[in-house]
Amino acid sequence: MTAAVTATGYIQHHLTNAQMCMADGGIAFNHACADAGFWTWHIDSLLFSVGLGVFFLAIFYMVGQKATTGVPGKLQCLVEMTIEFIDNSVKGSFHGRSSEAVAPLALTLFVWILLMNSFDLIPVDFVPEAALRILGVPYLKIVPTTDLNITFGLSLSVFAMIVFYSIKIKGLSGFVKELTFQPFNHWTMIPFNLVLELVTLIAKPISLALRLFGNLYAGELIFILIALTPWWTQSALYVPWAIFHILVIFLQAFIFMMLSVVYLSMAHEDH
């Protein structure tokens, strides 16, 4: 990269998002957004995550429109296998009364996160260098799940559904009683129960977000470190790590999806 001279600068450059904010009445980018705080947009994470989401919906919609009962094509087989895999996973883990929204959510989470994670296999300099030379964009991170904002956005969506179904199934009073009378069913233990249950509840979205972010961020960092090695050793290091990382990419999407289903199943339990 032109903007990265030293090894430290190279690493920092690749770990910096393309940022946009409002400053001094106009649109500013990256270094000018240092004081913007919460109101800074990571436009590369938004671009790639939304783009992959639209791609996922378009592919599944197209296959659904062209699905045939005869000999299916390869793409239809792949989509049907994915749906069947998610359906069986949900049936084995979800024990609530109704899973009408849970199965589509699980499918969306799994495929969307898998697509975002898979961008980690693209050589670290390939897309950013092209963006710099063609568009003049100095910073570009192409793996949305290495951005904590994206993983927290996904986990907070799941958390909102957990709270929604907890209130819908148990009622507001039942949800409050669950937080105040568990695990010790006595009024004197309400403060202790409330602290314990709130920590348990809030830990769910935090653990979901940090687990996905941490694994993909670490994997991306290793790819960046490999890119710093001499060119004649990069293939020998990149290929084995990429093969192993395929497992990480799949597992992290699966774990996020399965934990979301389990948490929603727990929300449907009526004590």
Residue 224 lies in a domain: yes
Residue 197 lies in a domain: yes
In a domain, 193, yes or no: yes
Residue 254 burial (CB < 10 Å; 0-12/13-18/19+)?
Answer: middle
Query: Which pLDDT does position 21 carry in this prediction?
Result: 82
Nearest to 48 by CA among 102, 100, 116: 116
Asked whether residue 1 is assigned to any structural domain, the reply reads no
Catalytic entry in 93, 117, 155, 215: 215
Active-site residue (options: 17, 207, 260, 265): 207
In a domain, 102, yes or no: yes
**% the chain with pLDDT above 90:** 48
Residue 113 contacts residue 254 (beta carbons within 8 Å): no
Confidence of residue 4 (pLDDT cuts 50, 70, 90): very low
Sheet with 41-42, edge to edge strand ranges = 26-29, 19-23, 41-42
Q: Is residue 227 part of a domain?
A: yes
Q: Is 207 a catalytic residue?
A: yes
Task: Provide the residue range defining the domain that includes 123.
Answer: 7-267
Domain count of the fold of the chain: 1
- Say which residues have a Cβ less than 8 Å from residue 46's Cβ, sequence separation at least 6: none
pLDDT at residue 5, as a whole number: 64
Domain membership flag for residue 171: yes
Q: Which pLDDT tens digit goes with each residue over 197-250?
A: 899 999 999 999 999 999 999 999 999 999 888 888 888 888 899 999 999 999
211 is catalytic: yes
pLDDT digits (tens, 9 = 90+) for 251-266: 999 999 999 999 999 8
Tell me, yes or no, if 17 is annotated catalytic: no
Residue of 211, 235, 260, 265 marked active site: 211
Backbone angles phi, psi at 42, to 5 degrees: -90, 90
Assigned domain for 2 exists: no
